[in-house]
Structure 1
């Protein structure tokens, strides 16, 4: 196993990756492709929640410096470094700091680590959504995760060897600001998402639209046909096959005129998603 493989194995918690329809994954990336700066050499799959960590600002007592703070006032550090044996525990205190700010603070400690944080849907907030590493690395391990709630305020922590000599790029998800679109999205029925605990697959468009309205959400657009062609509207009695979050309060829906066929695999998947949800 190469050094790269060992690093990725250490930080990438594949067993906890969210399940999502293939169409939804592919189309989500198509939707955001024109709005998200291309990332090079991404080695981790997107939408992978990690037990990589974030201490909520309310828990750590972190005070964020306003972007319009008067000149001459030094903003609080975006990262906190705490020595723990042969390692450093690095906590991201400000999810909204710039990549340059993170790089500068890592560099001041002798680390070549780049951290980028972009808006993600509630179930991805506080989680790693992608990354890359180079030769010469040993390990980067998650330390803990604490968020106020799904999609709530978080901060991220990593355990890095004090002798870390390689380089790494890590992307994380943060809550979206008003007007921002998601650059990473979890399952639309995951905890914290608009259709959590809703068996929406097989429901009519009007039924799903009604549920979303009750949760201050709406359908942004549709995808129809074998080629998933775009459509602004479809008949309300069409059936919903899949959906994906695209922005706060908005979802993209795959709809069709025929009833959704529930294969044994899809039935098992839906039952798993609904486990623990209220009955009726």
Structure 2
């Protein structure tokens, strides 16, 4: 199992077109900032490149360090947005059924339009999560994953929410060798200083299939509540990728994510490496 999140190194971001131009030129897009934070929170225990988590845990005393990156491109209403993100995520098994995860993303962003170009960089909000697999019977299992984000990012630069947020996810997994299927349903209380929607939800499903002893194919479909209060459409995505086990300790992964509607980034390439010890 690969635990993933998002460190962000070069981002070209888009402001909501209904924001005043003065705001757009001085702050990154509030929805984009939120989705960066939500992605970290949602994916902190997910098998990268998947967004959807599974019920698997590390095991008592075992740890994992994951380094992930992604490059996204989006074009809408004359504004082209490119994002390059990266992430370092540390996971530790507190018991056979409980994992602890911490993630501190970094963002470098650049937004370009016909009027001007804006860039910001710095640490975003720190994500902390605990996953507990509370039920396991045969090939079916259930888990819950409470999470907390700390306002370590500069909200005035658009790098954080400005307040602590919390979340709770329900996870279900079903294994049917060589297949596995996963469902995530989540709620996030998005306390913020950016005038965003505060009550948010996430729903996603994922499937994996072992193609060989070392190679696994993955697919993912999901939708999230748009934090933009004026938006009428919630962002939805589809993702496909591969995970290759170099050894028992190291995995490599690669994926491509496509937006199914305008609020979601048009396309994103994801890659990562995982060290288990």
Q: Normalized against structure 1, the TM-score is what?
A: 0.28
Structure with a larger share of its residues in strand:
2
Higher alpha-carbon Rg: 1
Q: Normalized against structure 2, the TM-score is what?
A: 0.29
